[in-house]
Amino acid sequence: MRDAYIVSAVRTPGCRRGKGALAQTRPEDLLIQALNGAVEKIGLDKGEIDDVMIGCAFPEAEQGLNVGRIAVQMAGFPDSVSGATVNRFCASGLESIAQSAMRIMCGWSEVAMAGGIESMSIVPMGGNMPRPHPDWSKKNPDVYVSMGITAENVATRYKITRQMQDDFAYHSQMKAAAAQKNGLFTEILPTKAFKFTEKKDGTYVREEFIQNFDDGVRGDTTIEGLAKLRPAFSALGSVTAGNSSQTTDGAAASVIMSGDACKKYGIKPLAKLVCYVTAGVKADEMGVGPAYAIPKLLKKVGLDVKDIGLFEVNEAFASQAIYCCQQLGLYDNKAEWSSDSDSRRININGGAIALGHPLGCTGSKLAATLIANMQKKGVKYGIESMCIGGGMGAAALFELCQ
């Protein structure tokens, strides 16, 4: 098969659900900016795109009706450019990259796009009208259980203590705060956002502004402050709002090309998607997914953990991220992930605990972050991975193009 190259990858800021800067901006308006930004960054004519695949975990209401096609049209792409929406819950954005890359690899397309969108402020987690199957709910309720409960299950079963979780969360915040201060989130696209302000006469006016940073980072986080937070999902549990990912709004997009297309348009590729895998695990401990997906990926490509320069392991919850790092042999050596280590490989600029987890966007968001960091560090191989609701894990290997 042919190689598939990422030639552009951008993301909007990730902003807090309900209280953040993007809370009143429709998902389509976020996504069209990511799509346009990815294309404009390389000066490519939109008509050269064959197809666009967009990940979304809850594709309904404002982000329903095949938002992958609607956003393409809203963004001013010609009618010849098709679009679709893909859902693999938390890995939807990565699934979109994999599916678009596979079109390139098998020769069905020369230029494609991928991305992800999730407005958790506008479309709630779980959707507006969830309808679990009544019989299956009795037989296997774990498929529908709260993700927070699965995080508690991981903590309990694998002895991930509250102190471990809070420590991991603290370092995520410190890494993100330092990265913001030093301007390291170069993959962020300054994003036009809207808010509605009430006037004295009771009417509302829509105001426009530019958001250019992740607004959920808490640089003033302390271990002592985290320790005071109450458990969020179980009265006697250890999973809190402070050691869980933030619910977030955001969008991301990338352009993917064949080698021939890169030469034709004179565009230098950033990274090559080498391989993508998924793995199934028990639904009631879905957070362990990366601990199965990453070894499966490494075996398939003939590499070892030590060969990987950078990891983006989505921090859905500190408990599951810690467990997955333990299984990879990357947790006990704190230098691999702590904020005060210059040799860290895990989530080097912070993870979802600090930066947010906009569900269907996350896979595309992390790819943009990972590739940007691989370029800065000159790292040959990088892996992104995440757990997935319902009991799965996904992982992808990227290779830097020199």
Catalogue the active-site residues: 90, 357, 387
Measured N-to-C along each axis, helices 27-40 and 67-74 cross at an angle, to the nearest 10 degrees, of: 60
Crossing angle for the helix pair 147-157 and 318-327, to the nearest 10 degrees: 50
Q: What is the CB-side half-sphere exposure of residue 13 using CA atoms within 13 A? A: 22
Angle between helices 289-301 and 318-327 (to 10 degrees): 30
Triad 62, 143, 133: Cα angle to 5°? 75
Q: Quick one: which of 176, 90, 147, 168 has its CA closest to 365?
A: 90
In terms of Cα–Cα distance, which of 388, 394, 363, 392 is closest to 6?
363
| Lookup result for tokens 């009991």 | 391
Gap between the Cα atoms of 161 and 163, Å rounded: 5
3-class DSSP state of 397? strand
Give Cβ neighbours of residue 202 (< 8 Å, ≥ 6 apart). none
3 state DSSP class of 256: strand
Q: Which phi and psi (to 5°) does residue 368 adopt?
A: -65, -40
